[in-house]
Structure 1
Amino acid sequence: MDSIFKALADPARRTLLDSLHVKPGQSLQDLQVQLDMTRFGVMKHLGVLEEAKLIVTHKKGRFKYHYLNALPLQEAIDRWVEPLLQQPAARAVLNLKTQLEGTPKMTKPDFMMQTYIHCTQDALWHALTDAEANAAYNFVAGSCVREGNKLVLKFPDDSLMLVLTETKLTPKTRIESTFEPHWAGPDVPLEQSRFVYMIEPQGENCMLTLEHYDIPAGQEGVADGWHRTLAGLKTWLETGQSVRFSHAEAEG
């Protein structure tokens, strides 16, 4: 936690985080023009933020793209604010919905996040691929069933919520999947996007990285859903407890 507070103490680093909140996936050059300092100075600030796990990066060719990683902030809120405030109100302090600018690019993720979970690689793989496990940690799903390579999640009222179709699996290390939301109802045209889970063992922990690509306009709010879902995954694997939000809270 010390590295988080150290990183947030500097106004230049807060400016960088604010910028990545508004526009995920910026390069060093994109960020440098927003600060009155040298390229080396911006790199140094980004290094502090990356060390604190407040940003994660995706390298494509010669360029490195930077993304806000809000999970460490969520964990700090859960640790100190949660006992004082109701969970939905505490989470509302961080409005983590990203706003896309321009046309989504295939070359880099639209959204990216990373977390460390105290569990085995086998346990994390099982949690990500097992239908019953998905229903246990998803922040709003009432049920989940597997249909071949599909995970079909439904709301507690049994209406269809989300279909995840696995397109490529590298056992215990990588899952590529499509993302097909149904929560808007049958009258809204379906628009798929895609995401990737990457698992990397880190001693007694696992580092889980999520990259989400090709998010259609109007679905930018999936970032908030991912924060809630992966926070629930971490809690469920480390404590065995399910974290639940009501359907109304999720829509709000």
Structure 2
Amino acid sequence: MTTNPTTSAPVQWPVGYRINPRAEGPAADIVEAFRAIPVAAIGDAMSRNIGTVGLRQYHARLDTVLCGPAVTVRVRPGDNLMIHKALMMVQPGDVLVIDGGGDVSQALVGGLIRTTCVAKKLGGLVIDGAVRDLCEWAEEGMPIFARGHTHRGPSKDGPGEINVPIACAGLAVLPGDLIVGDADGVIAIPAMEAADVLSRSRAHLVKEATIRADNAAGKSDPERFDATLRAKGLPI
């Protein structure tokens, strides 16, 4: 039993449908700080095994950064009924993260939905599914990552769920997670861990800056890798 996100009254959802209230993400200053942190550095600070696999960006500019709290949606492949409903619930800056099952036979979003996203001041979209109307998505103002594209449009029949735990292109996402995406990929940061991950990401960038300076000067420390090779039994 959950509550209706509009009235807060108890509700028993039909099988295959669920709409939970929007989850608050990290504080606004934390979200803004992550805009300056590359996804690769965040991934390095989070053990290097977290992030989407197989998505590509459909906005044109490589330097565009997607960053905001997740509103999650799970849909039946090729159906976008619950995406339309989720767009009635989002707040400015939210990122719509959609589990479309990796299906690319029918587009889940197109140019008309993009118009709504811009009007709602959405932070962007991450879709394990297909898009269409590529020329419109390539325009500035609405970052989007997706599995693929097709001209074939979606149905609007359901079922689907909003603000539930989902898997999107190999990335586990909870409602309210901080989503960051750039030219390298997309990653999710648990809201409660965002401040700590920010600190560790910044420290990692400082470490990288030192290594980069040494590499540029031609004075890389050989022990950085030789010690590892010796530990594996090589006579270095």
TM-score bracket relative to the smaller structure: under 0.3
More contact order relative to length (CA 8 Å, sep ≥ 6): 2
Q: Greater Rg, structure 1 or structure 2? A: 2
With the length of structure 1 as denominator, give the TM-score of the two structures.
0.26
With the length of structure 2 as denominator, give the TM-score of the two structures.
0.28
